Amino acid sequence: MVVGDFANEVDTLVIGSGPGGYVAAIRAAQLGQKVTIVEKGEMGGVCLNVGCIPSKALITAGHRYHQAKHSDDMGIVAENVALNFEKVQEWKGSVVKKLTGGVEGLLKGNKVEIVRGEAYFASANSVRVMDEKSAQTYNFKNCIIATGSRPIEIPGFKYSERVINSTGALALKEVPKKLVVIGGGYIGIELTGAYSNMGTEVVVLEGTKQILGGFEKQMAKLVERRLKKNGVDFKMEALAKSVEETENGVKVTAEVKGTEEVFEADYVLVTVGRKPNTDEIGLEQIGVELDERGIIKVDKQCRTSVSNIYAIGDIVPGPPLAHKASYEGKVAAEAIAGEKAEVDYLAIPAVVFSEPELATVGYNEKEAKDAGYDVVAAKFPFAANGRALSLNDADGFMKLITRKDDGLVIGAQIAGPNASDMIAELGLAIETGMTAEDIALTIHAHPTLGEITMEAAEVALGTPIHIVK
């Protein structure tokens, strides 16, 4: 300990202020704990600053621009539609600023101490927090690690001005004329949609036979078809091998189904996954167990192998979802307070803000059958819904998965407009043990997209009104 470094004493120390960390800190403070949160970057973490929020802002801007140029079939003909990308980026920044400022206000309002700097474990009960000028020791009774993740860098594609990750793609100063996207997962597909709507020629290199591998094939195909209509070129079973940076762009060499091809573009965007930030905080010093990928092993209360240290979010098993991190943050804070909170992931939704949007919760049909359930998979098309038709956006469907013997809702998949909002009702249905009959008997407002949920439940019961059985 350096001279003058008198340790600060806290009940709960939270490392990281993303959607997992700041929620954990607030919940812990609400439960009467003295809480300090440590952040080395911007408040709100990746999600609020360079992930969920700015990407949705960019997606919305691209969608508005595309609609303005392509609404002739509705009798709306716009001439000289212009895209001021500098203004788009300025607006996106204002959205981020409001939210990150809001997070800081919420933490202060709950009497959480905010400390800037990098945390490194000195022992199982203390960390050193360092910035450019000083270092301070914090002793804690319990700690919640919420350090998040960072984009994976693949061999031969070192990040630079022209070889970019999702953070770089969100911070471009101009709309690229041509863009190569490596990886057809949700991040790559969302950014492909945003930029193709703004007029960028996009080539997507996907290593498997299907984009959006975590979703059912029929759902992924809907997105692929819509993007192809927008000029996106998909290369499946493609392995990116190398990149050559030119004066004004890149040349990407890839092996596509055994044949070497070269793709020229302004930028190449690498979106092949994320890596947990567990390698530079001293976990090996204190014996926290990790798996071979650097993921921290935790129990159902988010407790690590060291009993007073908890971990949440992208650094623990499961999908890297912001809402999963927030949920785990509450569980960890409540466990520290002595409550019997445990994680239960059955009703955790996953969403892709593609066109159309995709959303899933609980089991899909294959997963349910693999788990031994005898199920009914009830499907209802958006094309039979009045609101979808009036939105001029009727591609897609809802599939409701219910147990055959009692109609219990155990899963749902939605591909269509506003799927990201609609999935919440199905998550609630699973969480509360509702049946198809419960949903069918719930009066849904007309005309709304929400009616599709009621209609799918009626299909499950064998009594559909707006499609022929």
CA atoms within 13 A on the CB side of 138: 28
Q: What is the sign, positive or negative, of the torsion defined by CA atoms of 183, 185, 187, 189?
A: positive
**Annotated binding-site residue? 206:** yes
Is residue 51 classed exposed, middle or buried when 0-12, 13-18 and 19+ CB atoms within 10 A define those classes? Answer: buried
**Annotated binding-site residue? 257:** no
Catalytic residue among 70, 444, 446, 466: 446
**Annotated binding-site residue? 328:** no
**Residue position matching structure tokens 């998949």:** 413
Q: How far is C-alpha 381 from the chain's CA centre?
A: 26
3-state SS of 101-141 is HHHHHHHHHCCCEEEECEEEEEECCEEEEECCCCEEEEEEE
**Annotated binding-site residue? 188:** yes
Contacts for 67-70: CB closer than 8 Å, 24+ residues apart: none
32: alpha, beta or left? (left if phi > 0; alpha if psi -120 to 50): left
Q: What is the sign, positive or negative, of the torsion defined by CA atoms of 239, 233, 169, 24?
A: negative
**Annotated binding-site residue? 260:** no
Q: Known catalytic residue: 323?
A: no
The alpha helices in 203-321, defined as continuous H runs, are 217-229, 283-286
Q: Measure CA of the first residue to CA of the last residue in the chain; give whole Å.
A: 75
**Annotated binding-site residue? 411:** no
Q: How far apart are CA 210 and CA 224, in angstroms?
A: 9
**Annotated binding-site residue? 174:** no
Q: 3-class SS at 271?
A: coil
**Annotated binding-site residue? 148:** yes
Give the pair of three-digit tokens for residue 123: 């022992």
**Annotated binding-site residue? 185:** yes
**Annotated binding-site residue? 273:** yes
Which residues in 30-173 belong to E strands, given as ranges?
Answer: 35-39, 113-116, 118-123, 126-130, 135-145, 149-151, 163-164
**Residue position matching structure tokens 């921290």:** 296
Binding residues for NAD(+): 183-190, 206, 273
Q: Binding site for FAD: residue ranges?
A: 56, 147-149, 314
Known catalytic residues? Answer: 446
User: Annotated binding residues, as ranges?
Assistant: 56, 147-149, 183-190, 206, 273, 314
